[in-house]
């Protein structure tokens, strides 16, 4: 089997770097570079440890897409705070905050310049989140295997063994403590059927809801009950039909009543929770195998010196070359 393609949920990484690396790290002009430095070091470590055959940095072109808001207006509504920056910015999607903090935006531009000079391509899609970019690449990428790096558990819905194995490198506890999830791991952790662990996780998440994303779920149905319900059915449609069919004894009357009350939400939830498999991707940089040398060494050196990133950039380049970290 060839080395996997690694898909980075880029905002997940740079937000964790921003909040996890001291803000006292700055360039000579005082510009904060904590997120940029932390991002480079995270990617370097991931490349060294996971040894991918290619890396793609996936971007949010819209962290709160209109099609999801139309379906469920509360989707991420609590995160919109104009005082913290442009909520439509590609840096959007903060895990525990509203719109992106102003100190992060300029660093994202630095990160994108570093990626371009290093030879790591980026992919995005107008009107879509990075999750959808990743979902589309998982649906279309011709590869022996795919590894998705994210601290967002929503992407656990992508795990599968066929046709192309997809694993999630889950970094919620940090890159150094990542957890690798495949279908068996998702099934064991969340109680969904291993045979359809990805779909089962998404369906469980719809029932459970997610307050951090403004998704109400079904009142009175927690994660454990949601997983038990999902496990009794072969698909979302089959489960929804059981809400209407009182003769279907796979669903208890109590759960049926709760789901019936949430009927409008359940009709719209799939459009919000499931990642798009067909986002119209746009690319920056050349899609190719892992760059073993920067595509623009002079530019990369200039960026590293200007933004006080020399150590982090050197570690990233060494990782891409398969060399020991300096």
Asked if 171 and 14 touch (Cβ cutoff 8 Å), the reply is: no
**Three-state secondary-structure class, residue 32:** strand
Distance of CA 62 to the CA centre of its chain: 13
Structure tokens at 84: 């913290």
- Paired with 122 in beta bridges are 57, 284
Biggest distance spanned by C-alpha atoms of the chain = 71
Model pLDDT, residue 86: 44
Model pLDDT, residue 292: 86
Cα Rg of the chain, angstroms: 21
Name the pairing type of β-strands 166-170 and 179-181: antiparallel
Q: Phi first, then psi: give them for residue 284, nearest 5 degrees.
A: -125, 125
Asked if 201 and 223 touch (Cβ cutoff 8 Å), the reply is: no
The span from the CA of 323 to the CA of 316, in Å, is 10
Q: Residue 11 belongs to what H/E stretch?
A: helix 10-20
| Residues contacting residue 181 through CB under 8 Å, at least 6 positions apart | 156, 159, 167, 168, 170, 189
The span from the CA of 321 to the CA of 162, in Å, is 30
Q: What is the pLDDT along the chain (326 residues), one digit of tens a residue?
A: 579 999 999 999 999 999 999 999 999 999 999 999 999 999 999 999 999 999 999 999 999 999 999 999 999 998 876 554 444 444 544 333 346 789 999 999 999 999 999 999 999 999 999 999 999 999 998 788 999 999 999 999 999 999 999 999 999 999 999 999 999 999 999 999 999 999 999 999 999 999 999 999 999 999 999 999 999 999 999 999 999 999 999 999 999 999 999 999 999 999 999 999 999 999 998 877 888 889 999 999 999 999 999 999 999 999 999 988 78
- The backbone region for 26, taken as left when phi is positive above 0, alpha when psi lies in -120 to 50, beta otherwise, is beta
The span from the CA of 172 to the CA of 174, in Å, is 6
Model pLDDT, residue 100: 76
Per the document, the length of the chain is 326
Dihedral over Cα of 275, 278, 281, 287: its sign:
positive
């Amino acid at each position: 089997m060839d080395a996997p393609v690694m898909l980075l949920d880029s905002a997940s990484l740079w937000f964790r770097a921003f909040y996890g690396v001291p803000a006292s790290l700055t360039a000579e002009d005082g510009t904060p570079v904590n997120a940029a430095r932390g991002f480079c070091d995270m990617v370097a470590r991931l490349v060294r440890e996971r040894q991918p055959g290619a890396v793609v940095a996936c971007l949010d072109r819209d962290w709160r897409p209109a099609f999801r808001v139309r379906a469920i207006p509360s989707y991420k509504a609590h995160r919109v705070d104009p005082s913290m920056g442009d909520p439509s910015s590609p840096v959007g999607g903060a895990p525990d905050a509203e719109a992106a903090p102003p100190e992060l935006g300029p660093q994202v531009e630095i990160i994108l310049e570093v990626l371009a000079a290093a030879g790591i391509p980026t992919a995005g899609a107008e009107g879509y989140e990075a999750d959808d970019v990743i979902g589309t690449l998982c649906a279309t990428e011709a590869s022996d295997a795919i590894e998705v790096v994210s601290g967002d558990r929503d992407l656990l819905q992508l795990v599968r063994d066929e046709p192309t194995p997809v694993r999630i490198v889950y970094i919620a506890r940090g890159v150094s403590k990542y957890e690798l999830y495949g279908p068996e791991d998702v099934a064991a952790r969340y109680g969904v059927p291993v045979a359809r662990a990805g779909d089962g996780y998404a369906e469980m998440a719809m029932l459970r809801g997610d307050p951090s994303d403004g998704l109400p779920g079904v009142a009175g149905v927690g994660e454990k009950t949601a997983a038990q319900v999902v496990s009794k059915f072969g698909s979302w449609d089959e489960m929804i039909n059981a809400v209407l069919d009182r003769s279907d004894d796979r669903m208890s009357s109590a759960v049926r009543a709760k789901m019936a009350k949430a009927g409008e939400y359940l009709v719209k939830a799939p459009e919000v929770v499931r990642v798009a498999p067909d986002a119209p991707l746009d690319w920056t940089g050349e899609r190719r195998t892992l760059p073993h040398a920067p595509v623009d060494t002079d530019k990369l050196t200039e960026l590293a010196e200007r933004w006080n990133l020399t150590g982090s950039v050197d570690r990233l380049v060494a990782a891409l070359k398969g060399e020991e970290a300096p």
